[in-house]
Copies of this chain bind each other. A is one copy, B any other.
């Protein structure tokens, strides 16, 4: 082959080397304390229902839409959120990330205007940018989007679609209030914005006193795609997610599924359906939430000791992350190299914005993996890096 690079599709120029991947590679080093990833706590997950996965009847190819028992159980699971869907509106996915790929294929041409939250999920930005979206970011408060800013963006940019994570937003931690949900639905109906609502963290609710009705269920006019994942509560290594969609979009999504990988592996669908239909479900979820609550509270206490004077943050009411804004510092990316050298990893804020400069003051810290002792030691090192960096800046 020539030393010149081969002729590739234009979109590959937008396929960036992922900062997240580079950091996660660094965290594989033995002894590293990592607040960087979003790995859930596998030890809090229920045991796999082995018999449900090993039936030779599951050896053969399945249907693109998904196993009937899975679609049925997931439709009932979604129903509990307040979004009422039929099993025919459910599509089994190899993790909810796959739903982002399908949404991008369905909705985005090069230059299509779309709306995201600022900050937002890194791998969603990656997909939307790959497909050429012209992304505008709506600023967030802890209760939801800054509504006047959101309406200004809708009027000016006329986005075709919007990607939102209204429950324990990654990385910002926002949980939309009931009022914000209604207001966003009204705006999207008025401007006819197709909503992609992503809910990976809904089941990791720790202390929320208000209902978290999906915005999809409040829309009267705008089409929608609702994404869900089991990866925070059941065996992420099995890659099980789902989408539900407005009936006008479903036929397209099923064809996209067929073109992408024919269908989702069947044993995982049966394992999930078995758990959804089991009578241990509530108990399993309660135990999982209690485990996460203990870890979050330990992180909050350690953060107050080490970052009380250095940063501001809201204690997350669910999800897996703390999102810090530094008071006197705006180069968390540069700080990362020094931290990794000393054995601690975190996610600098710039990865979470379409315009990285907006994230320079921020860092994201995962609380679900480190032990209390590691939290204490790791945060002390991070605070030291920060103070030294500030001194030398």
List A residues at the B interface (Cβ < 8 Å): 1-2, 5-12, 15-18, 21, 39-40, 42, 45, 47-48, 50, 53-54, 56, 58-62, 64, 93-95, 97-98, 100-101, 105-109, 112, 123, 126-127, 130-131, 160, 192, 194, 219-223, 231, 235-239, 246, 248-249, 251-252, 255-256, 258-268
Contacts and interface: CB of A to CB of B under 8 A. Distances in A.
> Can you tell how many copies of this chain the complex includes?
2
Contacts of A260: 97-98, 101, 260
Interface centre among A16, A42, A64, by most B CB within 10 Å? A42
A18 B61 contact: no
A93 B248 CA distance: 30
25 contacts: A1-B223, A1-B248, A5-B248, A6-B223, A11-B109, A39-B60, A48-B59, A53-B267, A58-B237, A58-B238, A59-B236, A60-B237, A93-B261, A94-B264, A94-B265, A95-B262, A97-B260, A98-B260, A98-B261, A101-B260, A101-B261, A123-B258, A123-B259, A126-B259, A265-B265
A-side binding surface: helix, strand, loop or mixed? loop
Contact of A42 (B40, B59, B100): B59
Contacts of A194: 6-7
Contacts of A100: 259
Given A9-B131, A12-B105, 11 more contacts: A1-B221, A9-B107, A12-B106, A15-B255, A59-B236, A60-B237, A61-B236, A93-B261, A97-B260, A123-B262, A127-B259
A39 B60 CA distance: 7
Given A237-B58, A262-B97, A265-B238, A106 B8 contact: yes
A377 to B, nearest CB: 23
Given A1-B223, A262-B95, A45 B59 contact: yes
Given A6-B249, A160-B7, A21 B64 contact: yes
A96 to B, nearest CB: 9
Contact of A50 (B54, B61, B106): B54
A12 B259 contact: no
Nearest to A45: B59
